[in-house]
Chain A
Amino acid sequence: MSFINSIESIGEYALLVKKVIAVPDRFREFFKEFFKEVYKLGVNSIWIVMVISFFIGAVIVMQIALNVASPLLPRFTVGVVSREIILLEFSSTIMCLILSGKVGSNIASEIGTMRVTEQIDALDIMGVNSANYLILPKITAFVAFMPVLVIFSMFMGLFGGYIICAMTGTPPVATYVYGVQSFFRESFVWYSMVKSMIFGFIIASVAAYFGYTAKGGALEVGKASTDSVVINSILILMTDLVFTQLVMG
């Protein structure tokens, strides 16, 4: 039964995405909503991305400095490895897991509340494509803003490592900076940004699906919000595995 329900949900999700990806009824209204969502979902997430990235970046450098204490490895390895972890996985995947909690639950609860208070029915009655009007600006705004968040996250992660080196001297700041600059491949930054945009699409569309199909009252809206975070987390990790294998494997 649960398997059949899952298949049904995938079908419903696909139909919803088809409804979402359509030409907006009015571009003027679309852009108005788009910029509102850029601010709400993107700009408002910068602070949490910066705070988390700073501390995680600092912890990564500390852990690597403590655990890669081999005389066979040069000290600048700490900088190289920290940079690769931050660029390749932390700033895209782990940050998206965190954002699925903040942004995903926000989208699911907002659209879910609109569903149970008949606001979506009101849009349908007016002849508005409610899925397109409500969801498309959220998806496009979040996907478009993801690279900005990733850049902030990368910068703050590396900066956190820099501060911890300055405070503890393990490794010295100059060695850390040398490591961060060594063997740098620009393609990793692009890889990370593309990956985060795919995750951005998953987060916004899956959360919107759970909100849009919510039925009942406040309890169901809460459940939709929780379900969206759980499913988003699983999907992000699965997609990360597939994407990494396809691109790097």
Chain B
Amino acid sequence: MIKVKNLVKEFEGRVVLNDITATFKQGSVNMIIGKSGSGKTVFLKCLIGLVHPDAGEIRYSGKNIIGMKSKDLKRLRRDMGMLFQGSALFDSKTVLENVMFPLDMFSRKNKRERRKRAEFCLERVNLSQAADLYPSEISGGMMKRVAIARAIALNPKYLFCDEPNSGLDPKTSQLIDELILDITTDFSMTTVVVSHDMNSVMNIGDNILFLNEGVKEWEGNKTEIMGSDNSKLNDFVFASDLFKKIKEAEEIISDNDDEEKAD
């Protein structure tokens, strides 16, 4: 479980995150949504310790990472897996070597066992056939899957995903969503996903946090999001025609139900 309390971050006097408090539960997919520039990525970078917040607390199973000794933070990071927006695979290594990398660095297993584990992770994301290819030889969707395989290689407790669906077609996007959900459930991880993609939010989001101009504007689940009366959230969610039409359809159905009941 990750608990965030009163988190504040400023860049050159501009408040990017303002007093954010949130709890991300184990075994659930926590979505952070918001417009571009709303502070989502900075929030994620604060969570993983890449950006140092100005105030507040970030507790991983009770341990505050702010002010933590670098040695302890380094140890904690071995429990974290991260899926970057651009996948961040190492260009000079093959797909298999990329997945093996965290194992090579931190696992005490012998080479055969490390290779077996990497092959298992690749199999988990259905990419066994691409093991010997280089990142430049595979598609964007495959790169994301390799990045997921690398992120889970060390059996992390926490998984962070920054825009996992960006630049992907709807079908591949759905595949990545399903993979994130399955892995979260199978390994009972605490997963935090930053996304703009409302389809993804509705597919896998257990807990949804909406950021607007650095402020936590709304928090709830996917059922509540459609019926929320928060105007800023509605502006964001129903900016998509599809969701606008779904809402209109739901309202018509609800009106009809009311009329039938009245009759």
Contacts and interface: CB of A to CB of B under 8 A. Distances in A.
Interface string A123-140: 011111100000000000
Contacts of A23: none
Interface stretch (A113-121, A163-171, A184-192): A113-121
Contacts of A127: 74-78, 106
Interface string A57-89: 000000000000000000000000000000000
Contacts of B90: 114, 119, 122
Interface in A13-49: 25-26, 28-29
A26 B86 contact: no
Contacts of A28: 104
A127 B49 CA distance: 11
Nearest to B74: A127
Contacts of B74: 127, 129
A129 B106 CA distance: 12
Contact of A117 (B88, B102, B104, B106): B88
Interface residues of B, number: 22
A121 B102 CA distance: 14
A177 to B, nearest CB: 46
A126 B84 contact: no
A122 B105 contact: no
A127 B75 CA distance: 7
Contacts of B88: 117-119, 121-122
Output the residue of A113, A124, A129 with the most chain B CB within 10 A.
A124
Interface in B46-80: 48, 50, 74-78, 80
Contacts of B105: 25-26, 29, 126, 128
B118 interface: no
9 contacts: A25-B105, A114-B90, A118-B86, A119-B88, A122-B90, A124-B50, A125-B160, A126-B78, A126-B106
Given A118-B84, A126-B101, 11 more contacts: A26-B105, A114-B90, A118-B85, A118-B86, A118-B88, A119-B88, A122-B82, A122-B84, A125-B77, A127-B77, A129-B74
Interface of B: 48, 50, 74-78, 80, 82, 84-86, 88-91, 101-102, 104-106, 160
